[in-house]
Amino acid sequence: MSHIHIISSEVLDLSTINTIVTEHKQLKLSEDSKTKIENCRNYLDEKIKNQDQPIYGINTGFGSLCDVKITKENLTKLQENLVMSHACGIGERVPNEIVKLMLFLKIQSLSYGHSGVQLQTVERLIDFYNNDILPIIYTQGSLGASGDLAPLAHLALPLISKGEVFYDGEIYQSSEVLKKFGYESITLKSKEGLALLNGTQFMSAYGIHLLIKSYKLSYFADLIGSISLDAFDGRIEPFNALVHLVRPHNGQIKTAERIREFLEGSELISREKAHVQDPYSYRCMPQVHGATKDTLEFVRKVFKTEINSVTDNPNIFIEEDEIISGGNFHGQPLALALDYLKIAMAELGNISERRIYQLISGLRGLPMFLVDNPGLNSGFMIPQYTAASIVSANKQLATPASIDSIVSSNGQEDHVSMGANAAVQCLDLVNNVQRILAIELFNASQAMFFRKPLISSRLIISFLESYNKDVHFVKEDEVFYSLIKKSVHFIDDFSIENDLLFD
What are the residue ranges spanned by the domains of the chain?
A: 4-199, 206-312+322-502
Q: What are the tens digits of pLDDT across the range 360-407?
A: 999 999 999 999 988 899 999 999 999 999 999 999 999 999 999 888
Give the integer Cα–Cα distance in Å for 381 and 364: 17
CB-CB contact of 29 with 126 (8 Å): yes
Find the catalytic residue in 56, 167, 219, 467.
56
b/e burial code for range 167-185 (CB count within 10 A of at least 16 → b):
beeeebebbebbeeeebee
Strand partners, 297: none
Sign of CA dihedral 320, 44, 116, 200: negative
CB-CB contact of 137 with 90 (8 Å): no
Which pLDDT score is estimated for 382? 96
Which pLDDT score is estimated for 70? 66
CB-CB contact of 140 with 91 (8 Å): yes
Q: Are strands 138-140 and 26-29 parallel, antiparallel or unpaired?
A: unpaired
Which pLDDT score is estimated for 61? 64
b/e burial code for range 127-143 (CB count within 10 A of at least 16 → b):
bbbeebbbbbbbbebbb
Which pLDDT score is estimated for 23? 95
Task: Out of 1.20.200.10, 3.90.1170.50, 3.40.50.300, 1.10.10.10, select the CATH number for domain 206-312+322-502.
Answer: 1.20.200.10
Domains 4-199 and 206-312+322-502 share a fold: no
CB proximity list for 125: less than 8 A, separation 6 or greater = 103, 106, 107, 110, 159
Instruction: Based on the residue annotation, tell me whether 357 is a catalytic residue of this protein.
Output: no
Could you tell me the CATH superfamily of domain 4-199?
A: Fumarase/aspartase (N-terminal domain) (1.10.275.10)
In this structure, what are the phi and psi dihedrals at residue 152, rounded to the nearest 5 degrees?
-75, -25
Which pLDDT score is estimated for 388? 98
User: Could you report how far apart the first and last alpha carbons of the chain are, in Å?
Assistant: 26
CB proximity list for 311: less than 8 A, separation 6 or greater = 109, 147, 198, 199, 200, 201, 328, 329
CB proximity list for 496: less than 8 A, separation 6 or greater = 216, 219
Order the strands of the 170-173 sheet from edge to edge: 134-135, 164-167, 170-173
Stretches where the chain sits below pLDDT 50 are none
CB-CB contact of 209 with 62 (8 Å): no
Which pLDDT score is estimated for 50? 79
DSSP, collapsed to helix, strand or coil, labels residue 119 as helix
Give the integer Cα–Cα distance in Å for 436 and 407: 38
Which pLDDT score is estimated for 1? 61
Which pLDDT score is estimated for 146? 81
Which pLDDT score is estimated for 467? 98
Give the integer Cα–Cα distance in Å for 364 and 23: 45
Give the integer Cα–Cα distance in Å for 123 and 88: 25
Give the integer Cα–Cα distance in Å for 248 and 465: 35
CB count, 10 Å around CB of 303? 29
